[in-house]
Chain A
Amino acid sequence: MSFYFVIIGTKDNPLYEAEFGTWKQGGDGVARFRDEQRHLNQFIAHSSLDLLEELQWAGTGGSMYLKCIERFAGTAGGGSGGVVGVAGGVNGAGAGGVWVSVFLTAGNIKFVLLHDTRADEPIRQFFYDVYELYTKTLMNPFYSVDMEVRSAVFDGRVRAGVKKYL
């Protein structure tokens, strides 16, 4: 089970990206993506931003964790799969399906996680963990909004979060 995590800034620019594998059930934490899949990951993350924008302003909810907003169905060849509908539905472990979960901060920074099995609660905790890390990064006076996060400590803490929750 592999995850692709990216933090996207207010101008749709990536601030931080990382790939993880799961630590549970004997996994060794290494992401196993096919090569084409890797390029597709970035595409999927960006294309989900459109849907995200719609959901962002829907209703008066205003919660930060938006759960799974999209399920992207890809074919085994990893070619041009179509984007399939909106979320919240079945916990489909379809072949090659990728779920997109999003967390949106108050300052409009998007944390996007691509994963192949759906698991709301651990992902929510992971997102809140990263949210805390991001806020601490922002407190640095030498870091401005929409700047890339290049800290090795940040990287280490995110991976620790993955180990803990995912």
Chain B
Amino acid sequence: MILSLLILNKAGGLVYHRDFSNTFTKLSSNDYLVLAGTFHGVHAITARLSPFGPSSGGTPSSGLEVMESEHFRMQCFQTLTGTKFLLFTEPQQPNVDVILRRIYELYADYVMKNPFYQIEMPIRCEAFDRHLMAYIKPKQ
């Protein structure tokens, strides 16, 4: 069961937010903006937090990827360009990786190829919404 999706731009601002279920209490829209900003900061801090330094492959450690509690699980997928996809699901949801990849694909198609979308601005693409709902709904 997928709960909600947040997309953050390079600067940490919230560009997209969508709830897929009614089983949890909703925050106000301002709260979501604060949440996004906070997560962006936490992600940056956690990238530096590892006591081991860069791994043997030379890649520096990434920031926070998964956060799990009894009631929900949050997974973060960061793209090479700094865009973060936050997916909130129930803890027992399988294949979150696959779902995040597919969402990234939909983003690359219907948001980036849209000439009316301005980069780093809030996403208002009807095609993206439509395809996202069509993809997520059967999984609920």
| A–B direct touch in complex (beta carbons closer than 8 A) | no
**A-to-B contact residues, CB < 8 Å:** none
